[in-house]
Amino acid sequence: MNELSRKFRRNWLHFILAPLACLWAAPMAWIIVTSLKERNEIFDPNAGFWPQRLVFENYPQTLEVAPFAMYMVNSIIVTSSILLCQLVTITLAAYAFARLEFPGKNLLFTLFMLQVMFPIYATFLTNFVTMHDIGLINTMSAMIVPFVASGYGTFMLRQSFRQVPSELSDAARLDGCGHLSILWHVYLPLVKPTLIAFSIISVVTHWNDYMWPLLVTNSDTIRTLPIGLGLLAKAGSGADWTRLMAGTFIVVAPLMLAFVIFQRRFIDSFMHTGVK
């Protein structure tokens, strides 16, 4: 009994997290199992949870119904372009707000942070009108340009920059480094956890984005994976749940694979990312 008590005290957190992990994994397990069933098994009460026969053909058939390979390439281009632009803009803006002195800095930072206060859906109309006026509707640029800056990312990185001792930048300045050299050689290596944490948030957000790409695109050649999944749900006479679940797994699989490969880096990034 004493041995059991000691094991419980050492591993009590695992006993709490294990049911939560099962609860999180249950929808994904249902998606995978459903994607491997026959179509007539979905609503058959006598079919049971497990498929009577593994139907791997649902996956190639899903790829034939909608050009998911093209959608995936488009999603990769859009998501990576947004992330690269955001990393450049938030890095420069955060450095300016954290370490430079210029008139109206606090007021400008307050106005800049208003982006965080407004829900993204509140800006869809004005963004759509802007994209239409400059002729970017139905292009990949229309899905990228409105998100090249991030108030939330700027705030995160600004707080991390402010935690870096100013003595390090002073020493680099004495060695003849300019602002860009100080930013590249001093600040960025010390805020990698924040950059990784923001990158995770940005990739997940824009990879799964549905509403904005739906508004600004009307061509299959530039649509992204969530749009393709929505079109698959409406295809034909109704949703084919086996193919729909196969398509859903295709959409979420890249993010799951990235998490499995970089799991420790992801967790360490969030553990070492904080604000004062």
Quick check: is 11 in a domain?
no
Which amino acid is residue 136, in one-letter code? L
pLDDT value at position 4?
59
For residues 34 and 236, is the Cβ–Cβ distance under 8 A? no
Indicate whether this model's pTM tops 0.85. no
pLDDT value at position 269?
60
Q: Tokens 């420069």 label which residue? A: 92
Quick check: is 9 in a domain?
no
Quick check: is 5 in a domain?
no
**How is residue 60 annotated by DSSP?**
H
pLDDT mean over 83-106: 90
d(CA 81, CA 70): 16
pLDDT value at position 6?
65
Residue scoring higher pLDDT (13 or 151): 151
Q: What is the CATH number of the domain that holds 183?
A: 1.10.3720.10
Quick check: is 234 in a domain?
yes
d(CA 242, CA 30): 11
pLDDT value at position 244?
84
For residues 147 and 206, is the Cβ–Cβ distance under 8 A? yes
DSSP 210-250: -HHHHHH---TTT--HHHHHHHHHTSTTS--HHHHHHHHHH
Please count the structural domains in the chain.
1
**78 pLDDT above the threshold of 90:** yes
Per the prediction, the chain carries an average pLDDT of 83
Quick check: is 35 in a domain?
yes
Quick check: is 222 in a domain?
yes
Quick check: is 276 in a domain?
no
Q: What angle do CA 24, 74, 259 make, to 5 degrees?
A: 30
Which amino acid is residue 125, in one-letter code? L
Quick check: is 264 in a domain?
yes
CA 133 to chain centre: 29
Helix axes 2-35, 241-261, angle to 10 degrees: 130
pLDDT mean over 254-261: 80
Q: What tens digit of pLDDT does each residue of 205-250 get?
A: 999 898 899 899 988 888 898 888 877 776 555 567 888 888 888 8
